[in-house]
Structure 1
Amino acid sequence: MPSKKLTIVNGRRVLVDAKQRIRQDSDRQYNQHRQSTKSNYLSFYHSSQWQHIRRQALLRDNHICQRCGLEATLVDHIIPSEDAWDGRLDLDNLESLCKDCHYWKTKRETIKRKKGQHRYMQINIIAGYPGSGKSTYVRDHVGQHDLVYDYDALMAALTGLPLHVHNIDAHDYVSLIYELIMRKLKAEQTFDNVWIIMTYPDKRLDSLLVSRDLHHYMLSTSKDVCIQRLINDKRNIQQLTKVFNKIDELKSIGKFENFKII
């Protein structure tokens, strides 16, 4: 016998299939509240601009839900339009979803938004020469409710290759994850700390997250020590020479001037 659950339908308690979603009275109240307080926001979703970009997204995704692979009937903002109004017509910020996946995504966003109200998120940008110990420093300081972006670790996870071995074909995918994370961080305060490990300063990041609590750090490990570590790890020093020189050049023209040496 299929499992059942007790729920409220039109003010009465009834038993329904456990997997069935019922529109609650609270949902109606929520929508009525939005209608009265966010009429301009809601009117956008009836505009010809939205209908046009919505059709484009569905065609691009072949009417397939980008979460589960079933038929998509909705188009959703990856970064909620309420949080990033300027990106409401950005096709890259849209994904086609089925009703169930849209429901659970919205529910997760609501929970995260409520959590974020009680968190003061600090974003830490960690730079340094190759071999300076950036990943080790972050591992020693990361907390339970933190997020870490590490290009090398993501590359290894996506390709199955050893750490520090790069696949040029996978670069765009790793970069896409980076861009999405940055846009999500602009809209949410889900974490206590965010750790971004990078080689060169990224002015786009500073501009995008200007409203966040940004801290820039550069490890003080000397170039000679880094090179010796890389030799011990059997890394290709010749390939990394360009990276060392580029960092030295950026330091000489003040591109790291807002980084605190640690």
Structure 2
Amino acid sequence: MKLPRLQTKLQAMTPKAPKSIKQVSDSWRDSKTTAERGYGYKWQKYRLSFLQRNPLCVYCLEQDRVTEAKVVDHIEPHRGDQDLFWNTDNHQSLCMSCHSSIKQREEAGSKNSTAYVFMPDWLGPIPRLTIVFGCAGSGKSTWVKEHAKPNDVVLDLDEMIADIGGKPIYKGNKQDFALAVRKRNSLLLQMSKHNQSGYLILTGSTPAQRRWWVSKLQPSSVHIMETSKEECIERIMSDERRTMSVKQKQIQSVGKWEI
């Protein structure tokens, strides 16, 4: 099994495995100062650093508008949960207008967020499985379509998110993502139980992540895409299905992919 030599270096924060979303009482703000809620000197220093690295509003970018961001927003409302508060994968840049309008409407409807576990410990071996690893734009889905047989189960999270949300690909929201992960995990359990054959498409950004999936599922084979980072970025930028915000995030993820 050959690992690709990937050379382009893009600066980005180290990704963390997604966690189950926790619920904390809405009374977490009661009788607390701004600093006691976590927005003291440490946060303000972090905020300035984050906005320097991510200076544009992600909501505006999705509408092909360029607007300077002023707020470091928590994608999933933390409600006092310090793990969620400081999780760098839970932060995004917003302008004041988007934060005060779109985001507040999202939070109003997000109190019953769907929990998920991205890398569940309860998964078992799937002897007839092929795992395909690769960064965004590497051609994982195309490779699987070329090799999968009619009866194979194909687990492509991007396609599952689109199907569950009833939206075009790359247009799903956090709830669509959570539901798709839960469905994927359920299908992996079924494949293990019924000895089904199929393909699992994963990014696997680090060797440790790839080893975890291989040791947990014990697949019959593993394929790692050897597409160069330069070509992956070119494909991402030329794909009209991706919004500018999605392109920005995926190009950053390409830079994080390790051999």
What TM-score do you get using the length of structure 2 for normalisation?
Answer: 0.45
Higher strand share: 1
Q: How does the TM-score come out when normalised to structure 1?
A: 0.44
Q: Bigger relative contact order, structure 1 or 2, given CA contacts below 8 A and separation 6+?
A: 2
